[in-house]
Amino acid sequence: MKRILILTLFCFFVYSAFAQTIVWKQVASLPVGYNGGEAVSLNNEIYFVAGRTKTSKSASFYKLNPKINQWEKLADVPKPTTNFALAVVNEKIYAIGGDLFQDANREYNPRTNSWKLLKPMPTPRQHINCGVYENKIYIAGGLTSWKNITKKHEVFNTATNTWSEKAAIPYLVQNATVVTVDSLIYVIGGAVGGNPNWDNYAEVYEGELITNDSKGK
């Protein structure tokens, strides 16, 4: 009986030692409240494109250093917007598209704290997300107007500053989650239909990036 009790206590303490507990704590607040922004991590720091305040779009761009718990204001974002795609490729940050149906393709260099505009996205749109594979950014779907959604799947090659078009995604969708795993791209959920009759979408599609070369319709 004693052996069973000791073994039970030992198992309890082992379980307790390895159990993971998430403890939330508040860290440094932003200088101003924002909504509709996007964030990415780079070199163990968080870069945040502000989106908009209560009254207007914001060009503000910040970096959080978690080690010292401090925000730093960086160079303003050109053509400020919301509902855009944000990605990191080869130590640089890219903010593409956004309200109101922009084609802007913005590149940020942390070394120089500067933005520049690159070749515009062929299909202006908003409510988009993106995946990254090697040197390329993959953008699928999105709103081209308040009543029109696209199946277009366009790819930006950061090494050559060029765009190409791949096979269209199977359904009209905006605000879908787009993510890459190795050479596969996944388009997850999103909204379908025109304004104001948007419905949520539950399906998930997978595509092969290396062989996905057909033109979208």
Report the CATH number at residue 47: 2.120.10.80
Q: Does residue 8 register a pLDDT over 50?
A: no
Which of the four pLDDT bands, split at 50, 70 and 90, describes residue 10? Answer: very low
Token output for 214: 């057909």
The residue range of the domain holding 119 is 28-208
116 lies in some domain: yes
CA distance 125 to 142: 6
Domains: count for the chain = 1
Please report which helix (H) or strand (E) contains residue 154, including its range: strand 153-157
The DSSP bridge partners found for residue 109 are 114
Q: Does residue 200 register a pLDDT over 80?
A: no
39 lies in some domain: yes
Q: Coil, strand or helix: which one is 18?
A: helix
22 lies in some domain: no
Q: What is the pLDDT of residues 101-143, one digit of tens each?
A: 999 999 999 999 999 999 999 999 999 999 999 999 999 999 9
pLDDT at 34: 86
154 lies in some domain: yes
- Cite the DSSP H helix spans in 19-116: none
197 lies in some domain: yes
Q: Does residue 173 register a pLDDT over 60?
A: yes
Q: Does residue 201 register a pLDDT over 50?
A: yes
Which of the four pLDDT bands, split at 50, 70 and 90, describes residue 197? Answer: low
8 lies in some domain: no
- Residue 71 phi/psi, 5° resolution? -90, 145
